[in-house]
Structure 1
């Protein structure tokens, strides 16, 4: 067995030697200066050596203390690193994924259970934001964005192109485009700048019809527009991706076409190596929401001063 002085005495000496102060050592160890002094006297008695020269308002290490201090300092540092590593291994590994509010609420949240089943050791943090989140700053690890696919300085992988079509509650009984004149049209504000963004005027042009001049309901948020349509308050030109489950279970219907092409959903990540948990979440996103990983489909946009 190793014959070592008490650990409390060694800790008190290491802290006092590092600070060259019994008072600051006591503050760090959450004890009184008297307790620190007592532990150091105990260590000196155990070793049969004097470790500090006590002076007015300060202490100085003896030659013996200067030999002992770096050994204890390095040993305690090694203890801390090893214990931190063990604690990190025991903690669930967190990955932050950001997406628009509508995509987060309608697509990510309902699918989270599948990731938990595949990787119970990963904690997925969802950051819903319609404004682009700066991945380069480390605010999030991955992002799903709706837009053109050009995101400077980031890796961008397409998940698929969206399609927009008239969607309504089945109780409205719509069967033909001409019936839209008798119903309120639901609009929402687009937060993505695009010259050819999907809109009711664009849809009516594709359908070869004149847009009704009255009976509109304007929402500031896409999710609110979907809720308004689900409540039967009107007909929305909605993302078929975001209302896929409602269309599948019949709570909403797409009574007629045409469906017009929207923009694309893209999975973004920082260039360079990524941790294993981030890679696992990336693979889950591709499996759940997009196409299979294909190096040819991944591009790195040129760097810029800011990223989204």
Structure 2
């Protein structure tokens, strides 16, 4: 088949949900894009899309052809990158995904530094708190807290990720400060949501003791966006558990403060995720090494912001406790 451009147009149209948008991306007029798709369907003797004036929807044949087409195009792109590697070419587009808070507050600055070194590199940046499907979304590199269950991905550990319970100073001044997890029943809490459900089970440890507090969702502020959770916390709407990477600047500036500093929340180290079976282009490999260096430097600076755990108590080992609400909670303020 000599119509590789038609195949690329089909893949882009499926990804964008619009033939005209795919045409614009590839430098084609709507008429030219429509003609090229019609030519591809005629050669395949199959209809790839059900088209209306408002919607472009893949047929069963289109879905089957899309999977094969994406793999074929990726193989060709990887082959081209492999040839360029011999020239030590660090250029082209890197599709990278990161969580919303970290992406806005830190990663974008680092990417600017990287582009200053390698001006021929371009980025397609996706900011989302959900776990990206790297295959379907064609992501080269994802920065995530924790490790994925998907065995087709390689997880390269970049840095530790202490998570802290924090609040705005004005909230603490007005409502006081909890001393242990059981006290949280008297405070407003803000939780992060995810496709798997809200993360409202907060587990803390102090030396050999552990306590779990379950935030009542009916009275909590809740968002699937980490930036929204951070902003609500800054506004003084309640307490939230945040990664130190997301709130470091706020802690330094005094906009937020750590509460219950002698209780630790479980870590989820920062990892870079990438495909196990795909060729790692020079631009991706060099970016990964660059980010590894940046994370190592930043982690050393951030360690000073996290209070050290208290010394282990003498005597018998402390017994784990489960904290439950002891009294009705106030309704959290709304945005």
- TM-score, with structure 2 as normaliser: 0.50
Let me know the Cα RMSD of the aligned residues: 3.8
Task: Name 1:108's counterpart in structure 2.
Answer: 107
The answer as to whether partners of 2:167 and 2:258 remain within 8 angstroms in 1 is yes
Q: How far did 1:277 drift?
A: 1.4
Q: Distance in 2 between matches of 1:231 and 1:286?
A: 33
Preserved CA contact (<8 Å) 2:97 2:132: yes
Change in CA separation of 1:204 and 1:189 when aligned onto 2, cut-off 3 Å: farther
Kept in 1: contact 2:142–2:272 (CA 8 A): yes
Q: Is the 8 A contact 1:169 1:232 kept in 2?
A: yes
The residue matched to 2:161 in structure 1 has which SS? strand
Q: Do residues 286 (structure 1) and 287 (structure 2) align?
A: no
- What does residue 157 of structure 1 align with? 156
The superposition leaves residues 186-229 of structure 1 with CA deviations (integer Å, 9 ceiling, x where unpaired) of 11213468xxx975542399675877878532223222111100
Gap runs ≥5 in structure 2: 1-31, 33-83, 299-335
CA–CA distance in structure 1, aligned partners of residues 212 and 168 of structure 2: 22
Q: Does residue 142 in structure 1 map to residue 141 in structure 2?
A: yes
Work out whether 1:275 is the aligned partner of 2:276: no
1:216 equivalenced with 2:216 (yes/no): no
2:130 & 2:246 partners in 1: Cα distance? 18
Q: Does 1:264 align with 2:269?
A: yes
CA distance in 2, matches of 1:168, 1:207: 22
C-alpha distance in structure 2 between counterparts of 1:235 and 1:244, whole Å: 16
1:103-134 Cα offsets, whole Å, 9 max, x none, are 32233224332222322221222112344434
Query: Which one of the candidate residues 245, 255, 260 is aligned to 2:259?
Result: 255
Mapped contact 1:162–1:261 kept (Cα < 8 A): no
User: What do the CA deviations read for 1:236-295 (whole angstroms, capped 9, x no partner)?
Assistant: 122222212211222211133212113232111223542221122111221222589xxx
Change (3 A) 1:273 1:238: same
TM-score (norm: length of structure 1): 0.54
Assess if the C-alpha contact under 8 Å between 1:198 and 1:260 holds in 2.
no
* Count of residue correspondences: 203
Determine helix, strand or coil for the equivalent of 1:187: strand
Residues 69-148 of structure 1 mapped to structure 2, 5 A cutoff = 93-136=92-135, 139-148=138-147
Larger radius of gyration: 1
1:187 lines up with 2:187 in the alignment:
no
Q: Deviations over 1:22-74 (max 9, x none)?
A: xxxxxx9xxxxxxxxxxxxxxxxxxxxxxxxxxxxxxxxxxxxxxxxxxxxxx
1:242 and 1:168 map into 2 onto residues whose CA distance is 13
Q: Would the aligned equivalents of 2:205 and 2:264 in 1 still touch at CA under 8 Å?
A: no
Local SS of the residue matching 1:103: helix
